């Protein structure tokens, strides 16, 4: 469930010196479900109770109804594959799931690994004071729009200000709205900063990489896989920016710490 | 972005009498993206900036790179369909997205509407004191497991206690783990209660309906579509159970209010 990663913790001026420490992050696991020898879906999940997850998923999808529908379950934890054989004959479950609906916080068909990806290169540099300033603006704008407390926000920024801001019930959607606005209005994303209210999973890092954005800042925590992918792909990942502190997870060289 | 629904607000004993009021909920919209006349995907989202969302989604998926790749965008807001024509020839984008990955908070191929669904019927009755008690236990268990603050929990309960508890980085996964455990261990879900830490969107209500669970309790808020579906399908939906109060959204008859 939990993993540790090395981070640099930075505090607001006067609140403490930067510290290199180990911090806890949540584990993001990929589980491929194969139903009757056909690949059905890959779920990103926590790595516990994987048999229950697979069976519950099939049940929620209406592919099985009860225990008797299941003939065999074989879990290969190392490979992240679970094979489920059902008692039904001939019916191809895959067809039923192929018409896919993407939920409000849902991931999309992005590959999980970093294999073959270009890393993001940029000489962008930012100071902690600028990061705290951006996050303050970001939170202020979010509060103005979000009366219900259930909405995610995302923004494209330079080191001084928010350039594009969007919100949505889904953290992926909020980011896609920002990136779509940049495409349609020809606002460059290269060498800029993306701020998100939501957790940074591997899919979010992939999104940022595709738009060649070198710095990703989140109010929330990353997953271990998000951290690993950011490290592999040249992204400066900054998380948990709240209450006068922040965590630098990867490629910390772009953050200019003045030793205060 | 926001909608209003009639609710009954209940307070902990001594904190106030039940009130019938209008409350604000966030809007959940379904947007079908058609790319070069082929249905690509349906996103559940907030209903603003839909062109940006569709273009950003295509961009995040690697299906387009820049504005020049887009020939035409036609949005039909009433039908919830956006048609995007690209400048590329012959390449079927759909194939590239069909290998789907379901993210940590991702929805699955569940239909959005309630058409043709059986409603959940149950004589289950529960009191506010029991609901507050269940939520207290639930939050306590969640805190024990969740050191990082980024994990969702779900539980199957009767009116007195938690029977099955699970957690996951995804709110859908946490619920599926509970339902899968019930299937494999032959724990009946009929006439029981599901508690979730996460927002109640239409997909979550659909999941609960499939398991014939009449009462759904959330620490968080529902979407307007979640409320509508719960009303249509016979689910008692209780949300925002926190700080000594709760909102009853639908089928309130199962909650026995003693007038305190």
**pLDDT confidence tier of residue B176, bands split at 50, 70 and 90:** very high
Q: Are A148 and B24 in contact (CB under 8 A)?
A: yes
- With 90 as the cut, is the pLDDT of residue B50 above it? yes
Q: Are A82 and A31 in contact (CB under 8 A)?
A: yes
- Residues contacting B254, CB < 8 A, separation 6+: B122, B124, B125, B126, B214, B215, B236
- With 60 as the cut, is the pLDDT of residue A108 above it? no
d(CA B248, CA B238) in angstroms, rounded, equals 5
From the list B48, B56, B223, the residue facing A178 with the nearest CB is B56
Q: Are B198 and B218 in contact (CB under 8 A)?
A: yes
Q: Is B141 on the interface with A (CB under 8 A)?
A: no
Q: Could you report the per-residue pLDDT of A168-199, keeping only the tens digit for each?
A: 999 999 999 999 999 999 999 999 999 999 99
Is B103 in Cβ contact with A172 (below 8 Å)?
yes
Cross-strand partners of B227: none
State the average pLDDT over residues B169-183: 95
- B43-72 residues touching A, CB cutoff 8 A: 43-46, 48-49, 51-57, 59-62, 64, 66-67
- Residues contacting B116, CB < 8 A, separation 6+: none
**pLDDT confidence tier of residue B108, bands split at 50, 70 and 90:** very low
Cβ-based contacts under 8 A for chains A and B: 298
Report the b/e string of A67-90 with b at 16+ CB within 10 A. eebbeeeeeeeeebbbbbebeeee
State the average pLDDT over residues B12-36: 92
Three-state DSSP class for residue B247: strand
Q: Could you report the per-residue pLDDT of A45-97, keeping only the tens digit for each?
A: 999 999 999 999 999 888 998 999 999 999 999 999 999 999 875 454 444 45
H helix and E strand count, chain A: 6, 13
* Residue B219 C-alpha, separation from nearest chain A C-alpha, in angstroms: 11
Q: What's the N-to-C CA distance of chain B in angstroms?
A: 35
Closest Cα partner for B102 from A52, A203, A220?
Answer: A203
Give the predicted TM-score (pTM) of the model.
0.87
Position A100 scores a pLDDT of 41
ipTM > 0.90?
no
- With 90 as the cut, is the pLDDT of residue B149 above it? no
d(CA B170, CA A30) in angstroms, rounded, equals 12
Cβ count near A49 (within 10 Å): 21
Position B89 scores a pLDDT of 53
Q: Could you report the per-residue pLDDT of A143-169, keeping only the tens digit for each?
A: 766 666 678 999 999 999 999 999 999
């Amino acid at each position: 469930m939990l993993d540790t990663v090395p981070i640099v913790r930075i505090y607001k001026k006067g609140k403490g010196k930067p510290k290199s420490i180990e911090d806890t992050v949540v584990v993001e696991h990929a589980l491929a479900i194969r139903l009757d020898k056909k690949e059905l879906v890959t779920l990103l999940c926590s790595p516990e109770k994987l048999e229950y997850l697979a069976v519950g998923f099939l049940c929620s999808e209406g592919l099985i109804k009860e225990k008797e529908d299941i003939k065999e379950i074989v879990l290969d934890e190392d490979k992240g594959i679970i094979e489920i054989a059902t008692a039904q004959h001939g019916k191809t479950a895959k067809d039923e799931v192929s018409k896919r609906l993407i939920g409000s916080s849902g991931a999309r068909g992005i590959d999980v690994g970093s294999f073959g990806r270009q890393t993001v290169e940029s000489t962008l540099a930012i100071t902690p004071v600028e990061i705290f300033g951006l996050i303050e603006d970001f939170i202020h704008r979010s509060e103005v729009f979000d009366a219900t407390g259930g909405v995610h926000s995302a923004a494209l920024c330079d080191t001084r200000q928010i350039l594009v801001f969007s919100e949505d019930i889904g953290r992926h959607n909020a980011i896609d709205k920002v990136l779509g606005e940049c495409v349609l209005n020809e606002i460059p994303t290269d060498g800029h900063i993306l701020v998100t209210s939501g957790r940074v999973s591997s899919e979010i890092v992939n999104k940022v990489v595709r738009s060649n954005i070198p710095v990703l800042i989140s109010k929330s925590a990353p997953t271990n896989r998000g951290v690993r992918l950011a490290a592999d792909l040249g992204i400066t990942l900054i998380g948990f920016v709240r209450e006068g502190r922040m965590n630098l997870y990867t490629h910390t060289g772009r953050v200019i710490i003045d030793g205060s």
